[in-house]
Amino acid sequence: MPAALPQSLWAATAAAGPALVPLERALRVDVAIIGAGYTGLAAALHLAGAGRSVAVLEARSLGERASGLNGGQVIPGLKTDPDTLEELFGAERGARLVASVAAGPDLVFDLIERHGIACDATRSGWIQPATSESALPPLATRAAQWQRRGAAVELLTARAVAALVGSERYCGGLLDRRGGTVQPLAYLRGLARAVLRHHAGIFTQCPVLHLRRAAREWQLETPRAVVTAPAVIAATNAYSGGLIGALQRSVVTVPSFQVATAPLTPAQRAGILPGGQAASDTWHLLRYFRLDASGRLVLGARGTFGAVPGPRSCRHHYRAVHEIYPQLGDVRFEYHWGGLVAMTRDHLPHLHELAPGLLAGLGYNGRGVAMATLMGRLLAQRTLGMSDAELAFPVTPLRPIPFHRGASFAARAAIQYLRAVDLVTRGRDRLRGRASWT
Ligand SMILES: Cc1cc2nc3c(=O)[nH]c(=O)nc-3n(C[C@H](O)[C@H](O)[C@H](O)COP(=O)(O)OP(=O)(O)OC[C@H]3O[C@@H](n4cnc5c(N)ncnc54)[C@H](O)[C@@H]3O)c2cc1C
């Protein structure tokens, strides 16, 4: 009997996933994948499609971690703007990297279509509403850089944002028509079904406890059986734990919590995100929000370290909903949940070759629905022998963050600092009479 998932809107509304069980007997495969989130399952799908035998080993139930819990916003590109990526990686490699991350949403929506995944997918775009005047110039730069590359990205006036978001709070914004939304757990379960149809194995409640290299092969020890494979992909992201300690130490993990209202009445819903876009605003501690298929407002924001998502720990989420949409009045909140986001020091995702035949991809900085799906394909391509020069993403050395424990404290301090910066911005804008944040 599979363990129940933690309570969330997605667990309550997704169709049941495939029946999965732990691994009971020794197995030899071409590729063993650790972790059944988007990264691991996308890698498995591409490898199995290329005729490789694959086993995905998942420590928990399918969807218990970030890929089953996130906001379902399919966001194109990375947090770093395209010109900067080209400066960092050179004109030719940088341009390939930009093109591949720009196409992340295409990959997600193609997989959904090709594999018939029922996950309430919509592709009406992603909005970045500006919370202060000072956020507008960077948005204008971003829009111009994408427009030069032919992307359907446009800068919006305050009035246009008000019409699209249904809130008068914002000073302007950016609309990226490449983005969209999915029911994240349903998307994950659909990927799992596609992997199983390709005759790859997915084993749940099956943590990899030890990873050993012996005679040019890897041995992955799980509680009841050992898997042997010449190639291994670690797809463990924010939940890497101690298996490959240096991997966990290469990211800082921060909690993000979400709340969902009861389905909005037609009167409440009138004017709120009428085009069905997803939105992530420009506060340093950003709020991301969207409607789900039944018209609930789903809003996410920073979580509290060590706290369980619930009415007490999500009070600032309630405040955010009321600030953005005062017209909602006394709306009822029915779900609270959250998970961990893996942040990297350079704000870029990372693809590492840790040892011969051992790859890892992680660090999506809160933008993993498209990027983890893409990373899965990149990891599969690399496993299938694509060279460094051909791959559309740089393979970089693993760099654990020095004094990692200290870095985690620093992350908490940084969150407090960014909160203070946001408060100062609110205060300044209020004094200038420019914005109406309370
Ligand atoms: C609350 C929240 C909201 C988010 N919202 C968005 C959003 O709206 N849009 C967006 O683009 N991104 C969002 N993200 C980020 C996105 O969810 C992640 O980047 C993405 O899901 C990462 O996928 P993954 O497969 O790499 O990792 P995960 O989905 O975390 O999967 C890793 C898996 O590895 C398993 N594992 C770890 N160690 C072992 C082991 N030793 N043996 C076996 N298995 C192991 C874990 O159990 C886990 O299932 C959000 C994240 C959170 C937490």
What digits encode the pLDDT tens for the residues 423-437?
777 777 777 766 556
User: Rounded to two decimals, what is the model's pTM?
Assistant: 0.95
Q: Using the mean position of ligand 1's atoms as its centre, give its distance from the Cα of residue 180 in Å.
A: 19
Residues with Cβ < 8 Å from 394, sequence gap 6 or more? 89, 93, 97, 351
The CATH code belonging to domain 1-121+182-250+344-401 is: 3.50.50.60
Picking from 357, 100, 51, 402, the residue whose alpha carbon sits closest to that of residue 249 is 402
- Does the beta carbon of 375 lie inside 6 Å of ligand 1? no
- Does the beta carbon of 373 lie inside 6 Å of ligand 1? no
What digits encode the pLDDT tens for the residues 292-311?
999 999 999 999 988 999 99
What digits encode the pLDDT tens for the residues 326-335?
999 999 999 9
- Give me the pLDDT at residue 401, please: 83
Each domain of the chain, given as residue ranges in start order, spans 1-121+182-250+344-401
What digits encode the pLDDT tens for the residues 150-197?
999 999 999 999 999 999 999 999 999 999 999 999 999 999 999 999
| Mean pLDDT, residues 26-49 taken together | 98
- Does the beta carbon of 296 lie inside 6 Å of ligand 1? no
- Give me the pLDDT at residue 223, please: 97
Instruction: From 23, 57, 58, give the residue whose CB has the most ligand 1 atoms within 8 Å, as the site to mutate.
Output: 58
Contact call for residues 396 and 352 (beta carbons, < 8 A)? yes
The mean predicted confidence, pLDDT, of the chain is 94
What digits encode the pLDDT tens for the residues 222-238?
999 999 999 999 999 99
CA torsion sign for 76, 77, 81, 87 is: negative
Dist CA 225 CA 345 (whole Å): 37
Q: Using the mean position of ligand 1's atoms as its centre, give its distance from the Cα of residue 381 in Å.
A: 21
**Is the pLDDT reported for residue 83 higher than 60?**
yes
| Mean pLDDT, residues 198-208 taken together | 98
Q: Using the mean position of ligand 1's atoms as its centre, give its distance from the Cα of residue 66 in Å.
A: 3
Residues with Cβ < 8 Å from 161, sequence gap 6 or more? 127, 129, 130, 167, 170, 171, 172, 173
